A and B are shown apart, each in its own frame.
Chain A
Amino acid sequence: MSDKPKFVYVIYIASTPEKVFAALTDPDQTEQYWFGFRVGANGKVGSPRTVRNSSGVDFPNGVILESDPPRRLSYTWPPHTDQTKHERPSRATFDIDMIKGQVRLTIVHDDFDVGSRVFEGISQGWPAVLSSLKSFLETGRVSDPGWCEDSDKQPAVQDDRVRA
């Protein structure tokens, strides 16, 4: 077993795989539930994954590694803060399937070096983003972005109490 950091999160959503895939890849939708981020990931393999934050700042592009709508999506995740810019890009992979009438969305975020700061950030950020995605798809309402207080507005809320 590798010691390299790997984040895994599973969430079940009363929706369809098509709607979940669209919500993860269409910037007009991500803007509504993902801290105001416009995340574009609906291109083909090899095309860029784009991110523009709520202040209109573009982050470095990732690359779409796999895209099999509405089942699977994988892209690289370059660091975007001064504290993390020395790190190499990590990788986020989404698997979408139907289990007993609801969507199971599994995210695996890996390919980090040991001690990665980005890993610490995304481990806090994904539960918040994916909780908000679920609310968005099930209720049309999203979580209050006020609980993302990080100055860079990256999907990271520092809170040591939830460390495993």
Chain B
Amino acid sequence: MSEAGSSFVYVTYIRTTPERLWQALIEPEFTRQFWVDTVQDCDWKVGSSWKLMIPDGRIGDSGEVLEIEPHRRLVLSWQNQFMTEMHAEGASRMTYLLEPQGEMVKLTVTHQINRPVSKLIEAVSTGWPLILSSLKSLLETGASLEATRRWPEGK
């Protein structure tokens, strides 16, 4: 972590293939199940706009695709769009890294911002462990965790 920034890193190992994990991270039929009913609006090319859509039609977060290497690595710029304080922090940077290890894939999610203290990083530090735990359950058991199947009421 650099002196000026803050970041959150989460590592999980999932019994799946890089192809299936990539599909689950991208495609709406999967994200709806483990990512609180959200879908991503993006055509997954470098420079493309990226939006995380809340079920009621609001944009949750948005940014663009900075780097993409299918089944291996994705880097997005990421700005919150529905909470004033977090929106004011500007863009963060989120990276997925997928590395096969035997029968498993090691998934590393790194979320960083160039601010020493960040409400956004605080929020994603709580959110990512639940979302990624649910993603692992979905790929290994066929069922996501119940708490992640719907957008939280009142948010």
Contacts and interface: CB of A to CB of B under 8 A. Distances in A.
B53 interface: no
B85 interface: no
B104 A143 contact: yes
Contacts of B8: 164
Interface residues of A, number: 26
Given A144-B104, A161-B108, A12 B134 contact: yes
Given A12-B134, A13-B133, A135-B140, A146 B102 contact: yes
Nearest to B104: A143
A102 B11 contact: no
A100 B146 contact: yes
B11 A162 contact: yes
A128 interface: yes
Interface in B1-28: 1, 7-15
A46 interface: no
Contacts of B97: 161
Contact of A131 (B7, B12, B102, B103): B12
A131 B145 contact: no
A100 B147 contact: yes
Contacts of A141: 15, 140
A10 B9 CA distance: 12
A99 B130 CA distance: 10
Given A138-B140, A144-B104, A147-B104, A127 B12 contact: yes
Interface in B75-114: 97, 101-104, 106, 108, 110
Contact of B15 (A11, A99, A102, A135): A135
A76 to B, nearest CB: 25
B123 to A, nearest CB: 14
B146 A127 contact: no
A132 B13 contact: yes
A147 B141 contact: no
Given A100-B147, A102-B145, A162-B108, A144 B103 contact: yes
Interface of A: 9-14, 99-102, 127-128, 131-132, 134-135, 138-139, 141, 143-144, 146-147, 161-162, 164
27 contacts: A10-B129, A11-B133, A12-B145, A99-B147, A100-B147, A101-B145, A101-B146, A102-B147, A127-B11, A127-B12, A128-B11, A131-B12, A131-B14, A134-B137, A135-B15, A135-B136, A138-B137, A139-B15, A141-B15, A143-B103, A146-B102, A147-B102, A147-B104, A161-B108, A162-B9, A162-B11, A164-B7
Given A143-B15, A147-B101, 8 more contacts: A100-B146, A128-B11, A131-B13, A139-B15, A139-B141, A143-B102, A147-B13, A162-B11
Q: Which 3 residue pairs spanning A and B have beta carbons closest together?
A: A100-B147, A12-B133, A131-B13
